[in-house]
């Protein structure tokens, strides 16, 4: 089965909003074996929406539309749905009453503009919305399964997970076994070479999906044991690069390991400016294993806050493995943590020299036993250098916990 995704809203075309809904849906569909072949964004213009629905329906078995179901005048997806499917709108007095009650419980009268959220087409099945007031709809038009969902990400996601994805899985039981294996710290071409022999022996389809901070491997086959066998071979050949499966992030995976082992982590971030702390604390419950961080952006802060010796800075410079080692050891003590991790580098575009060019980044890890340091040269812009540095440091925690460094 093939799908098309239609995202609706002027803000998607004017460049004010990234189409993250479209990406999320594409990936969720892929997880249940449905490939997206077409994705379109159109503005809040009824004719354009109807035309895009028709085009998508002509190309795909499944069409998912999001956006334009709110209460304001420019929310016209429901009208477009009616025109496309030949449905007419009726007032659902029961739902309207429910909406009114919801508003009055918050102590406000329901605005006039919300009246239209009580309207329901006489064709299609309602998709309930447990997080908001705009309901969705699905129906079948000339053999294509089509649904409309609101554009608010939390609402769209819960409606996809509670109703749409189960419905699609029932319609077309996914006979494919799909396993996603996530790697980091290895280039796509290196990984390809590493796995070549295993891939040759296997009939399983394998896709390399390079992201900016790692490569995901998607294994697909009809035969469960074949997938399991290839996966097992991949773990044997490239296990040191694998941090998780499916949608698990590196910060979730490392966090889980720290929690299991009862370890507290502390950071000393220089060039990343807080990015690694931000990533770690995106995981709910991270306070159980994350003690905190010192962002020591200047030499003075490195000396005063995490105890780097001024001689070390003078002799080796702020961007050196020697300084990184002292930062990691120092921050571990300051937070009374089990593991201290440090990052110090030249993010660019300025600040580089012949000897220490932009992108040079030094890392330290100290767990009180075997101090570890490393230098890496990145070649990207400031933001990318920061992202790659945070990823490298976080990965070093995984490597230490698993005894690989």
The order of strands in the sheet holding 265-269 is 265-269, 339-345, 360-366, 372-377
Number of residues that bind its own copies (CB under 8 A): 75
Taking CA 317 as the corner, what is the angle to CA 312 and CA 322, rounded to the nearest 5 degrees? 50
Neighbours of 55 (CB within 10 A): 15
Measured from the Cβ of residue 12, the count of other Cβ atoms closer than 10 Å reads 22
Q: Give the nearer residue to its own copies in terms of CB position, either 87 or 301.
A: 301
Residue 38 binding its own copies, by CB under 8 A: yes
198 binds its own copies (CB under 8 A): no
Q: How many angstroms separate the CA atoms of 336 and 334, rounded? A: 6
In the bound complex, what is the minimum distance in angstroms from residue 291's beta carbon to its own copies? 6
Q: Which is nearer to its own copies, 120 or 180 (CB)?
A: 180
Minimum CB distance to its own copies, residue 28 (Å): 7
Of residues 253-312, those binding its own copies (CB under 8 A): 267, 269, 271-278, 280-282, 284-287, 290-298, 300-301, 304-305
Structure tokens that stand for 77 in this block: 């997806």
Q: Which parts of 359-398 interact with its own copies (CB under 8 A)?
A: 381-383, 386
Q: At what angle do helices 77-85 and 46-59 cross, to 10 degrees?
A: 50
| Residue 348 or 359 having the CB closest to its own copies | 348
Q: Does residue number 244 form part of the binding site for its own copies (CB under 8 A)?
A: no
Q: Does 39 bind its own copies (CB under 8 A)?
A: yes
How far apart are CB 298 and its own copies at their closest, in Å?
6
Count CB neighbours of 17 within 10 A: 16
Min dist. Cβ of residue 142 to its own copies (A): 20
Asked if 245 interacts with its own copies (CB under 8 A), we say: no
Binding mask 337-356 toward its own copies (x if CB under 8 A, else -) reads: ----------xxxx------
Radius of gyration in angstroms for the set of CA atoms belonging to the chain, rounded to a whole number = 26
Min CB(40)–its own copies separation in Å: 5
Q: Which of 43, 71, 132, 317 binds its own copies (CB under 8 A)?
A: 43
227 token code pair: 């997938």
> Among positive and negative, which fits the CA dihedral 149, 150, 154, 155?
negative
* 110 token code pair: 């329901």
DSSP 113: G
Q: Mask of contacts with its own copies, 202-221, x by CB under 8 A?
A: -------x-x----x-----
**Segment 147 to 186, residues that bind its own copies, using CB under 8 A:** 154
**23 belongs to the binding site for its own copies (CB under 8 A):** yes
Taken in order 209, 210, 216, 219, the sign of the CA dihedral is positive
Task: Provide the 3-class DSSP secondary structure of residue 93.
Answer: helix
Q: Which is nearer to its own copies, 357 or 405 (CB)?
A: 357
């Amino acid at each position: 089965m093939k799908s098309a995704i239609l995202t609706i809203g002027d803000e998607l075309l004017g460049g004010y909003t990234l189409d993250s809904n479209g990406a999320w849906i594409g990936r969720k569909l892929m997880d249940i074996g449905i490939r997206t072949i077409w994705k379109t964004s159109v503005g809040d213009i009824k004719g354009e929406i109807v035309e895009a629905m028709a085009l998508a329906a002509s190309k795909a078995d499944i069409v998912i539309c999001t956006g334009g179901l709110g209460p304001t005048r420019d929310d016209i997806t429901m009208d477009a749905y009616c025109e496309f499917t030949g449905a007419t709108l009726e007032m659902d007095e029961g739902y309207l009453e429910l909406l009114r009650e919801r508003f009055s419980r918050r102590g406000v009268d329901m605005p006039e503009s919300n009246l239209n959220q009580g309207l329901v087409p006489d064709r299609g099945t309602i998709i309930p919305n447990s997080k908001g007031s705009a309901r969705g709809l699905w129906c079948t038009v000339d053999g294509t399964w089509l649904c409309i969902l609101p554009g608010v990400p939390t609402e769209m996601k819960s409606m996809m997970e509670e109703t749409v994805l189960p419905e699609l899985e029932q319609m077309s039981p996914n006979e494919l076994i799909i396993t996603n294996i996530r790697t980091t710290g290895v280039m796509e071409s290196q990984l390809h070479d590493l796995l070549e022999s295993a891939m040759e022996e296997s009939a399983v389809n394998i896709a390399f999906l390079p992201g900016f901070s790692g490569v995901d491997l998607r294994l697909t086959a009809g035969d469960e044991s074949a997938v399991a066998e290839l996966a097992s071979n991949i773990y044997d050949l490239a296990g040191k690069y694998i941090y998780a499966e499916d949608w698990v992030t590196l910060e979730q995976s490392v966090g889980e390991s720290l929690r299991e082992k009862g370890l507290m982590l502390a950071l000393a971030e220089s060039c990343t400016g807080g990015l690694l702390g931000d990533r770690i604390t995106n995981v709910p419950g991270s306070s159980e294993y994350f003690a905190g961080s010192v962002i020591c952006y200047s030499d003075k802060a490195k000396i005063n806050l995490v105890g780097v010796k001024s001689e070390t800075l003078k002799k080796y410079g702020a961007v050196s493995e020697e300084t990184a080692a002292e930062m990691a050891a120092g921050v571990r003590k300051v937070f009374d943590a089990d593991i201290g991790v440090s990052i110090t580098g030249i993010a660019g575009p300025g600040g580089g020299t012949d000897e220490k060019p932009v992108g040079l980044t030094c890392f330290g890890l100290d767990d009180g036993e075997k101090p570890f340091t490393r230098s890496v040269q990145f070649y990207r812009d400031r933001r990318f250098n920061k992202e790659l540095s945070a990823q490298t440091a976080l990965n070093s925690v995984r490597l230490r916990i698993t005894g690989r460094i």
